[in-house]
Amino acid sequence: MKKLHPVRIAALIAAVSLGAFVSSSVAAAVIAKVDGVEITDEDVSIAMEDIGATLPQQMTADQRQEYIVNYLIDLKITAKKAAADKLDQGPAYERKLAYFRDKARMQVLLDNVRDKAVTEAEIKKVYDEAAKAQGSEPEVKARHILVETEDQAKTVLRRVRGGEDFAKVASEVSRDPGSPGGDLGWFTKERMVPEFADMAFKTAPGQISEPVKSRFGWHIIKVEDRRTQTFPPLASVRDQVERFITRKAHQETIETLRKGAKIEQIEQAPVLPPLQSKP
């Protein structure tokens, strides 16, 4: 929402996994035991949500699973040692515990918000609105040759209309190094400068245009094909739609809660470096 600082809201949402804590009546499967304490597949799922994004992307699913299980084993043995040494006592531990307790509460709240927001009806509504907004747009696939003067453009035109290969001539003389062989690929009208776009879209596929001037110079355009761009089917963008609905619901929930809360931000004096004693 615009009323929240985008960095703050992005950081807050990023701190919460978008995956659900799924409750189930099926008993959790035991993966390992540490001094008799069980580590289950549900523990693995929670840990994966927590640190999975930090693992190297090249890891296979089996490697990620093995890493997480070993992480949980290390977690159990270090936690047991900390408890034995009474390190889970005192204000520092309590502050951390309070922070992670609040984070877990926030997570289950936002998971609940997501589950209520992401319905089939809402998915279809958002998809239909996006499809309607984009509509169907014509596209052309073209090549061009860019030169500096009109005389150069006329010379190029004679060459390519005389039978020389358009891509070969483009490689030789075009001043557009970003388009090898003059290839521009597929594009919609609004992606190009008006003079260029008007000429490209009125030229029939297989034809070569007259010289046209833009702020970049003089162009000769060869249109290779034409099509109508259609909005992708729901199945191919469903994940994106669900993420959009989730983020929107999360942001609206947080903004509503902030409006209902009494928030006081207290400016603190800067921390000064310690005074050094004189020699």
| Same domain membership, residue 145 and residue 223 | yes
Whichever domain contains 197, its CATH number is 3.10.50.40
Q: Which is nearest to 138 in space by CA: 83, 91, 200?
A: 200
Do residues 65 and 101 both lie within one domain?
no
Whether 19 maps to a domain, the answer reads no
User: Which residues of the chain have a pLDDT value below 50?
Assistant: 1-25, 277-279
pLDDT at position 11 is 40
pLDDT at 28: 84
Q: pLDDT at position 9, please?
A: 38
Neighbours of 182 (CB within 10 A): 24
- Is there a single domain that holds both residue 206 and residue 149? yes
Which alpha helices (H) appear in the chain, and where do they start and end?
6-14, 41-51, 61-84, 91-117, 120-134, 150-161, 166-173, 194-202, 234-259
Whether 83 and 198 map to the same domain: the answer is: no
Domain that holds residue 82: 28-89
How would you list the strands of the sheet with 212-214, edge to edge? 183-188, 137-147, 217-229, 212-214
Statement to judge: residues 121 and 254 lie in one domain: yes
Q: What pLDDT was estimated at residue 275?
A: 58
Same domain? 108 vs 245: yes
Residue 160 within a domain: yes
Question: 116-157: per-residue pLDDT in tens?
Answer: 999 999 999 999 999 888 877 899 999 999 999 999 999 999
Identify whether residues 51 and 127 lie together within a single domain. no
- Split into its structural domains, the chain has a count of 3
Nearest residue to 257 via CA among 102, 98, 45: 102
Please report whether residue 78 resides in a domain: yes
**Cα(10)–Cα(19) distance, integer angstroms:** 16
231 CB contacts (<8 Å, ≥6 apart)?
130, 131, 134, 135, 136
* pLDDT score recorded for residue 16: 41
